[in-house]
Amino acid sequence: MRWLFRSAPRPGTSACSRVLFTLGQCVPFAIALLVVAIEFSPAHVLYTGPLLTATPALAAVTMGPRGTVSAVAVALAVSVATATHNDAWGTQQVYTNFLALFLVSVAGVTTSSAVRTRRQSELDQVRRIAAAAQEVILRPVPVRLGPLRAASMYLAAEAGARIGGDLYEAVQTRYGVRMIVGDVRGKGLPAVRAAAAVLGAFREAVHYEDDLVEVMNHCAAALRRECAVPGAFDQEAVVEGFVTAVVVQVPDGPVVEVVNRGHPPPLVLHRGRARALTPASALPPLGLEDFITGFPGQAESYPFVPGDRLLLHTDGVIEARNRDNDFFPLPEVMEAVSAPTPREFLEQLHQALVRHTDGALEDDVAMLLIERDRGEEEAGT
């Protein structure tokens, strides 16, 4: 969205378009240099007034108010210098040129300011819509889910963006607390539609499907239906047609059940040590079921006792790189973090991620953290 503030090309435009736009911004100043070259040469008999008058108008087309004012200042300086050099002060031509330059400059600055105001209004409206959409697609996770404390965080790689292809949800059901974290392989609105389809299926299935695998199957079926919609994933959609996802269930017992479909494994922090819940066998992401047959159809269980913390995340976390091209060491950072609540834990992870990447995320990040309350342990003893 930053292009709206700077009158720059939209992100994602071609390199040729960006070069042409940059050259367009240089045109007003190139014209001013051309006028100087003519007026300070034997060719000064040529009438350059219209050329110089055009610079503010051209600047208003390609630059914002500040750029237009800069072009006006340059044009005014050139007019004064050439009039002095040619000893033309007091002539009607000079005053006519200054009057024309003044009128065009006022019109250019006014137009540029009006365009910026309109674009700012449009951007504010887009952000309000994005915020409302985020509340529907990525609802805040409750602080308390039965015996669990929870927190979630979503970080957009692109400045100004609010939602994307990462998804998460946590719901308390009669089977226990069920969660999902996923990543749509793609960008733009089609990726948002795919994420919404998967989340909608999950939110419905978690309440009546006792089998965690069937919950995941409902999500896969919803994605297939979304992909079958004509035009949903066209050539400009930039969607690869599949979603990596992990579905987790925390029942009453001291275990956690996981179904992982091609997603980075969750991490359990137990007594200060982080361990990845790597699946025994690799399963295909949602949307790639037709290419792999015979994969197992049951959830895998892992210990999850009171005091443990479980982190579900997207690959935007573990694939974040620093200047030396090193990946973000998530397990080590988790072990070094000391925070009393899940929210503060995620905040510290966020700060570490920002330090590691110098604030330049290359991919969206979604994190969901749950903690089994130590009160259960005390009640059991």
Q: Following DSSP, what letter does each residue of 165-226 receive, concatenated? A: SEEEEEEEETTEEEEEEEEEEE-HHHHHHHHHHHHHHHHHHTTT--SHHHHHHHHHHHHHHH
Give me the amino acid identity at 360. A
Instruction: Of 273, 268, 222, give the one whose Cα is nearest residue 245.
Output: 222
Give, in order, the Cα–Cα distances in Å from 60 to each of 4, 114, 121, 286, 337. Answer: 15, 11, 19, 49, 51
Looking at residue 96, what is its pLDDT?
74
Strand duo 273-276 + 300-303: pairing: unpaired
Q: Cα separation of 255 and 61, whole Å?
A: 63
Looking at residue 82, what is its pLDDT?
73
Give me the amino acid identity at 69. V
So where are the chain's domains? 3-130, 138-380
Looking at residue 267, what is its pLDDT?
97
Alpha helices in the chain (DSSP H): 3-6, 15-39, 49-62, 65-85, 92-137, 188-205, 212-228, 315-318, 330-336, 342-357, 375-380
Looking at residue 91, what is its pLDDT?
67
239-274 per-position pLDDT tens digit: 456 899 999 999 988 999 999 999 999 999 999 999
Looking at residue 296, what is its pLDDT?
61
End-to-end CA distance of the chain: 55
Q: Which residues contact 79 (CB under 8 A, 6 or more apart)?
A: 52, 94, 97, 98, 101
CATH T-level topology, domain 138-380: Phosphatase 2c; domain 1 (3.60.40)
Any bridge partners for residue 268, and if so which? Answer: 275, 310
SS3 track for 26-63: HHHHHHHHHHHHHHCCHHHHCCCHHHHHHHHHHHHHHC
Q: Cα separation of 317 and 357, whole Å?
A: 10
Looking at residue 260, what is its pLDDT?
95
50-104 per-position pLDDT tens digit: 667 777 766 777 676 777 777 777 777 777 777 676 666 666 666 677 777 777 7
pTM of the predicted structure, to 2 decimals: 0.68
List of the chain residues with pLDDT < 50: 1-13, 160, 234-239, 378-381
Looking at residue 307, what is its pLDDT?
93
Cα 9 off chain centre by = 17
